[in-house]
Structure 1
Amino acid sequence: MPSPRRVLSSLAVAVATAAVLAVPSGPATAADIPVGPSGEAFYTPPAPLSGAPGDPIWYRPAAVSVAESNQATAHTVLYRSVGATGEDIAVSGTVFVPKAPYDGVRPIVGLAPGTQGIGDKCAPSKAFVAGTEYEALAVGELLKRGWAVAVTDYEGLGTPGDHTYVVGRSEGHALLDVVRAATRLPATGLRPGGKVALTGYSQGGGGAAWAAERQPEYAPELNLVGVAAGGVPADLTAVAKTLDGSFGFGLLMFAAVGLDAAYPELNLAGYLNAAGKTEFADRERCVGDIAAFAFRRISDYTTRNPLLDQGWQRRLAENRLGSRPPTAPVFLYHGVLDELVPFGQADALRREYCAKGVAVKWNVYIGEHLTTFLTGRGDAFTFLADRFAGKPAPRGC
């Protein structure tokens, strides 16, 4: 059951649903897409959903606190997407556009955020407004280059239901669809047909890579010219083995919740002991809360390890990157001392992409997870700038 703060009043539901269902077919105009409800009601979509993936449902101006925010507009948007198993869903996100004019069709960078948590309060669109979003520095750097930035909240962060943390198709679709939504929302002034790039680190690196793999089939109309993905959790089984008993065990808890949210047949609750039922009942944790679970183990919270179950193994295998090579050039980067997302599985993804003919640039940094996030970003954005400029893509294979 949704929490009380997620539920619209009956009047708001009726008004919002009527507004969306009244949208005519054909090119969107400013009058076609309504301004959404105020407060938390913004994140609860009307029912039934209508339109196509990437169509905005509603939007509102966002008073953001990021570098360059006084030189850019920002809008929070609720848009259509497709979940991991093909269901229609609504996802929220934020679109930033520099105020300075741009010669030609302005490029758009789809930014997949790193781990935020699993609670609705952790949604990046909310954190941008509150001034607490750590991805704000990256957004500011991208805006300074004159590019628009579309940031997804992912499925279930802010919107009803649990967040499908690290579930590849869900995250990839959400990122591609926020880019689509950015061009279909007249308030942004963005036009379709321009160059698009994707970027992200950690969870965001996985989201960007999944979007790159899904794009040729799911969003072929997007002119995707480059992808920069760092700290990529390409093989969730390998990542889980690293996190079990480590400082980052809380991330493994998030992943268990995310997989169970996407695939209810996994029945996470059926594996939990009394301590697990208590701890996993709290679905409002943000990334800062993982420290409380440092060095815990799966066995502390379960009667048996779900990772050994064939059903879980099958879903983990489905969420392994590499089976669908991107057609756009890719910059992969990783810290050789990464203590959260093991280096070896990222290098395996690089080798798999190379074997399948992807134009890959591969950078290795002498650092752990956080320092590589900070040091690799500049190289990632330079890679994207070169792709927007039409320079030949490097091959590091």
Structure 2
Amino acid sequence: MPQVNSSSVTGRERWQPVGWLSHLRTSPIVQAIGGVISLAAGALLIVRPLSALLTLIVGIAVLCGLSGVRMALSVPRHPLRWIYTLGLAALSYGMLAFLPAVARLVPLIGAVFLVACGVRLAYRATRRDPQVSGVRAAMVRGSRVAYSLTSILAAWLFWTWPDAASVVVAAMFSLTLMYIGIALLAKGVRHHFPAGRGSRRRTQATLIVQVVGSALALALVSSAIFGTVRIQSDSAAVDEFYTWEQDIPETPGRVLRVEDYEGTAPEGSHALRILYSTTRSDGSPALASAVIAYPTDDGRDPRTVLAWQHGTTGVAQACGPSLRPDALTELAIPGISQAISRGWVVVATDYPGQGTPGRYPYLIGEGEGRATLDAIRAVGQIPEAKASRSAWVWGHSQGGHATLWAGQIAQRYAPELELLGVAALSAASDPLVLAEKIAGPGAHSAIGDVVTSFVLVPYVDEYSDITLAATVHPVGQGIVETFASRCVSDGSLLVSALTAMTFGLDAPLYRLDLHQGPVHSRLSENIADGMVPMPLFLGQGTDDETIPIKMQRDLSNQLCTIGRTVETHEYPGKTHMSVIEQGSPLIGDLYTWADAVYSGATPTNCDT
């Protein structure tokens, strides 16, 4: 065969490996070694989705770069050679330089790919294969239609559950590596296993497996779609009431909108929801919402206010209690019926960013406390509520943290209000201790990863010195943001927990330095010290699985040591939620304490 002159190579001709490179490419030993490496890599990454995603993105970027180099060197006369080369180089650099952004796009890219596959399979199902007829043709066409529907429905699931989709993509990449490894191993040693008979039977078996597999895949994806629809039907919808298109007044505590609350309310009360102005921790104006219940009888005028601060419901806009029909029930506000029967007005803030758009001050004390005090100011502007400026401030869990901060800043921020007493129940008073409990060394858990997102994302929004880039795995930032977009009461949180469970053997999702640096400093500055000038009630169950009982004990001991007035109660056998359920002795103790304060006493059990 005549030799080809390199000067005659055209852009249409492809570069082929020669010499020892060609030998390595076809060598059974090299193929077997490559198979072992690929199989081992896939097996290692299948249980490490974050590492698998990182490997996939970096691998594609490197391949793009190498393809650009190959294009530059192997086809010297191709008219678009340098355009291709520079384009591939730019793509490679962009994927590596903006890796977190690329990782966020993985679910979307996966969804587009699935749609394309579905369309292609649907098109192939309409084509007639002259070599296949009868029942066999119908089976092939039916399996293609089923796979097409499965692919398109799966694309919708990818769009709906981006965190789970990222894990699925990582798993598929790992399985692909394992498949390639097995194929290379088989190819490398196949000369030891000559082909036998029975190819027709194998073809029939393959067809049956294809049909059954397509039916099972369609059934599985359809079930996931049905479950997704049910989960989404339980989610609260944010209506137009929470939208405010005008400028937010700089004066905090201004009522901007009022309407009847359509949910359940205590007997003998009328319920409203309001939109009011408040301020964030940095002093900027913010919008907040709240629900109000006041007695329908004439009663005492003016009426004492009970400001209730709710516990963790999530950190997304759709997680506000006022969006749901049970925000004024005993389940949401323990003892609310008794408060109404005493002639009190009850107001429960959502805090800014729940119901209303904007940043949510989760465990950001100044923001929570201001929203609490401004809710008391706002209810005083509702004429029919007949609210006074005297108020109790009570809260549970996150709300206990908000309650303590409201008491700490009241004289500075709202000096016109008279806070009668502060009751912090199972209070998340020390965010730093909580962070060490759920995200410290050796504390990894699926629920911990989800709860950490509830703290980290609001802190990233609030503080410029905290970023996701510095605190989250490079390919996990979109996953963390998705976790934080779901509410505690929604079934979608189960998807977050299941996704987080897959990270157990992987590199840590979070990279938090809780001993120094900005995360440590910001958590520390939001610790509630309990230094309130009014009577203080602390109550918590000894079996609390969320907030360590030691946190309340430490706070109580510190306050007693310096001579502050505090009445502390512990409830044996009570958990984080059961301590505020109907029938819990805490409710009776709380109102007994309130009666004592009303009588002019300063209740304390520091000496016991």
Tell me how far apart the structure 2 counterparts of residues 238 and 61 of structure 1 sit (CA, whole Å): 40
- Residue 571 of structure 2 is matched in structure 1 by 365
Q: Which amino acid aligns with 2:570?
A: V
Tell me the SS of whatever aligns to 1:128: coil
- Residue 7 of structure 1 is matched in structure 2 by none
Q: Which amino acid aligns with 1:53?
A: P
Q: Which amino acid aligns with 1:279?
A: I
Question: Cα–Cα, structure 1 residues 290 and 206, in superposed 2: closer, same or farther, change >3 Å?
Answer: farther
Question: Cα–Cα, structure 1 residues 363 and 299, in superposed 2: closer, same or farther, change >3 Å?
Answer: farther
- Structure 2, unaligned runs of 5 or more: 1-237
| C-alpha distance after superposition, 1:224-257 (max 9, x if no partner) | 1111111111111111122233574132221112
- Residue 267 of structure 1 is matched in structure 2 by 467
Tell me how far apart the structure 1 counterparts of residues 308 and 293 of structure 2 sit (CA, whole Å): 11
Residue 242 of structure 1 contacts residue 340 of structure 1 at CA under 8 Å; is this kept in 2? no
Tell me the SS of whatever aligns to 2:477: helix
Tell me how far apart the structure 2 counterparts of residues 210 and 299 of structure 1 sit (CA, whole Å): 36
Tell me how far apart the structure 1 counterparts of residues 246 and 330 of structure 2 sit (CA, whole Å): 30
Tell me how far apart the structure 2 counterparts of residues 395 and 130 of structure 1 sit (CA, whole Å): 32
Structure number with larger C-alpha Rg: 2
Residue 66 of structure 1 contacts residue 139 of structure 1 at CA under 8 Å; is this kept in 2? no
1:300-339 pair list within 5 angstroms: 300-302=508-510, 304-322=511-529, 325-339=531-545
Tell me how far apart the structure 2 counterparts of residues 165 and 307 of structure 1 sit (CA, whole Å): 18
Question: Cα–Cα, structure 1 residues 325 and 279, in superposed 2: closer, same or farther, change >3 Å?
Answer: same
Residue 338 of structure 1 contacts residue 368 of structure 1 at CA under 8 Å; is this kept in 2? yes
Q: Which amino acid aligns with 1:379?
A: D
Q: Confirm or deny that 1:395 pairs with 2:595.
A: no
Tell me the SS of whatever aligns to 2:547: coil
- Residue 124 of structure 1 is matched in structure 2 by 321
- Residue 353 of structure 2 is matched in structure 1 by 156
Residue 321 of structure 1 contacts residue 349 of structure 1 at CA under 8 Å; is this kept in 2? no
Match of 1:209 among 385, 395, 404: 404
Tell me how far apart the structure 2 counterparts of residues 57 and 97 of structure 1 sit (CA, whole Å): 19
Match of 1:284 among 468, 485, 489: 485
Q: Confirm or deny that 1:97 pairs with 2:303.
A: no
Match of 2:265 among 66, 87, 102: 66
Q: Confirm or deny that 1:232 pairs with 2:427.
A: yes
Tell me the SS of whatever aligns to 1:305: coil
- Residue 12 of structure 1 is matched in structure 2 by none
Q: Which amino acid aligns with 2:249?
A: S
Tell me how far apart the structure 1 counterparts of residues 327 and 518 of structure 2 sit (CA, whole Å): 40
Tell me how far apart the structure 2 counterparts of residues 306 and 299 of structure 1 sit (CA, whole Å): 15
Displacement of 1:344 in angstroms is 1.6
Residue 124 of structure 1 contacts residue 133 of structure 1 at CA under 8 Å; is this kept in 2? no
Displacement of 1:330 in angstroms is 0.5
Displacement of 1:355 in angstroms is 3.5
| C-alpha distance after superposition, 1:291-350 (max 9, x if no partner) | 553877796323x2253551111111110111x711110100122232211122222222
- Residue 367 of structure 2 is matched in structure 1 by 170
Tell me the SS of whatever aligns to 1:107: strand
Displacement of 1:275 in angstroms is 5.4
Residue 319 of structure 2 contacts residue 354 of structure 2 at CA under 8 Å; is this kept in 1? yes
| C-alpha distance after superposition, 1:12-43 (max 9, x if no partner) | xxxxxxxxxxxxxxxxxxxxxxxxxxx72221
Match of 2:457 among 257, 270, 277: 257
Tell me how far apart the structure 1 counterparts of residues 301 and 527 of structure 2 sit (CA, whole Å): 38
Tell me how far apart the structure 2 counterparts of residues 299 and 381 of structure 1 sit (CA, whole Å): 49
Tell me how far apart the structure 1 counterparts of residues 507 and 556 of structure 2 sit (CA, whole Å): 32
Q: Which amino acid aligns with 1:301?
A: L
- Residue 40 of structure 1 is matched in structure 2 by 239
Residue 56 of structure 1 contacts residue 77 of structure 1 at CA under 8 Å; is this kept in 2? yes
* Structure 1 or 2: more strand by fraction: 1
Q: Which amino acid aligns with 1:108?
A: V
Match of 1:199 among 379, 394, 400: 394
Question: Cα–Cα, structure 1 residues 95 and 103, in superposed 2: closer, same or farther, change >3 Å?
Answer: same
Match of 1:77 among 248, 252, 274: 274
Question: Cα–Cα, structure 1 residues 347 and 247, in superposed 2: closer, same or farther, change >3 Å?
Answer: farther
Tell me the SS of whatever aligns to 1:151: strand
Match of 2:555 among 328, 346, 349: 349
Tell me the SS of whatever aligns to 1:198: strand
Residue 251 of structure 1 contacts residue 290 of structure 1 at CA under 8 Å; is this kept in 2? no
Displacement of 1:272 in angstroms is 1.9
Alpha-carbon RMSD across the aligned residues, in angstroms, is 2.6
- Residue 144 of structure 2 is matched in structure 1 by none
Q: TM (normalized to structure 2)?
A: 0.54
Question: Cα–Cα, structure 1 residues 169 and 359, in superposed 2: closer, same or farther, change >3 Å?
Answer: same
Tell me the SS of whatever aligns to 1:394: coil
Tell me the SS of whatever aligns to 1:78: strand
Decide which moves more: 86-95 or 139-148.
139-148
Q: Confirm or deny that 1:57 pairs with 2:253.
A: no
Count of matched residue positions in the alignment of Structure 1 and Structure 2: 353
Residue 345 of structure 2 contacts residue 387 of structure 2 at CA under 8 Å; is this kept in 1? no
Residue 216 of structure 1 contacts residue 326 of structure 1 at CA under 8 Å; is this kept in 2? no
Displacement of 1:215 in angstroms is 0.8
Residue 299 of structure 1 contacts residue 305 of structure 1 at CA under 8 Å; is this kept in 2? no
- Residue 25 of structure 1 is matched in structure 2 by none
Question: Cα–Cα, structure 1 residues 174 and 133, in superposed 2: closer, same or farther, change >3 Å?
Answer: farther
Question: Cα–Cα, structure 1 residues 51 and 326, in superposed 2: closer, same or farther, change >3 Å?
Answer: same
